[in-house]
């Protein structure tokens, strides 16, 4: 092989793979922490309504834990920014309990992606905060969760065929059992539950929305 060609091939091999290519949803760090990060618990108050309200003395969900990672709709990246991770103590406790029990029953399942809760003091969380925004998520009682993926990756299942329907159904069931008021799921998925609680809603094929009692 001519020497120049050999040098060119060697140089090409050194070029970073995918440099300049569009990166979509880079996966978060796949190693879960061995212990859950501490949480500053306090008694919270959900004021007003989920679509017109605010949050008093909210609790911040950590950026990740043994059973979950977090996802930022605005940046399309993990982890979610701290100001998008506030809820009532009841909501944060429910999410942690459900995800812990779910993962204990399915140790092989990937951690669950938790997307937006509410802002630190609740209030409007519309389009200007990124992505499609939220009409609700205003008083610390709402949380978005990403569906588990069939390939087990800790990434957003952005298309229905990526969704592990069996594990997703189990998550829905567990939130219903935990007393969720609503679980909104996507019309293209086949997730079931009690009528008036598990409701199919457009724009929910890539995440489920859970609302808990105050």
Binding residues for Zn ion, rule: CB under 5 A, are 144, 209
Q: Considering beta carbons, is residue 56 or 201 the nearer one to Zn ion?
A: 201
Least distance (Å) between residue 209 CB and Zn ion: 3
Q: Considering beta carbons, is residue 50 or 110 the nearer one to Zn ion?
A: 50
Q: Which residue has the tokens 């105050």?
A: 214
Question: DSSP label at 121?
Answer: T
Least distance (Å) between residue 33 CB and Zn ion: 26
Largest distance between two CA atoms of the chain = 76
Q: Considering beta carbons, is residue 78 or 141 the nearer one to Zn ion?
A: 141
Residues 6+ apart with CB under 8 A from 109: 102, 103, 148, 152, 167
Please give the Cα distance from 191 to 50 (Å, whole number): 24
For Zn ion, which residue has the nearest CB?
Answer: 209
Q: Considering beta carbons, is residue 166 or 203 the nearer one to Zn ion?
A: 203
Q: At what angle do helices 89-105 and 165-177 cross, to 10 degrees?
A: 130
Q: Considering beta carbons, is residue 67 or 144 the nearer one to Zn ion?
A: 144
Least distance (Å) between residue 203 CB and Zn ion: 9
Residues 6+ apart with CB under 8 A from 11: none
Least distance (Å) between residue 144 CB and Zn ion: 4
Least distance (Å) between residue 211 CB and Zn ion: 8
Question: What's the CA angle centered on 91, arms 89 and 95, to 5 degrees?
Answer: 115
For residue 116, what are its two tokens?
């937006």
Least distance (Å) between residue 191 CB and Zn ion: 15
Residues 6+ apart with CB under 8 A from 69: 28, 63, 78, 79, 111, 112, 113, 114, 154
Q: Considering beta carbons, is residue 106 or 123 the nearer one to Zn ion?
A: 123
């Amino acid at each position: 092989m001519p020497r120049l060609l050999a040098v060119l091939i060697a140089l090409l091999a050194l070029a970073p793979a995918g440099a300049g290519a569009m990166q979509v949803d880079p996966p978060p760090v796949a190693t879960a922490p061995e212990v859950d990060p501490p949480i500053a618990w306090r008694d919270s108050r959900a004021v007003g309504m989920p679509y017109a309200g605010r949050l008093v003395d909210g609790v911040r969900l950590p950026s990740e834990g043994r059973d979950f990672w977090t996802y930022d709709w605005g940046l399309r990246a993990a982890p979610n920014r701290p100001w998008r991770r506030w809820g009532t103590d009841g909501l944060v406790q429910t999410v942690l309990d459900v995800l812990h029990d779910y993962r204990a029953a399915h140790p092989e399942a990937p951690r669950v992606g938790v997307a937006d809760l509410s802002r630190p003091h609740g209030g409007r969380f519309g389009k200007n905060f990124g992505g499609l925004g939220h009409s609700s998520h205003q008083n610390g009682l709402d949380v978005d969760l990403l569906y588990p993926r069939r390939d087990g990756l800790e990434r957003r299942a952005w298309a229905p065929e990526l969704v592990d329907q069996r594990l997703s159904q189990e998550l829905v069931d567990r939130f219903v059992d935990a007393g969720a008021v609503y679980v909104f799921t996507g019309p293209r998925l086949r997730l079931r539950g009690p009528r008036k609680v598990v409701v199919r809603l457009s724009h929910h094929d890539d995440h489920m929305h859970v609302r808990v009692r105050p």
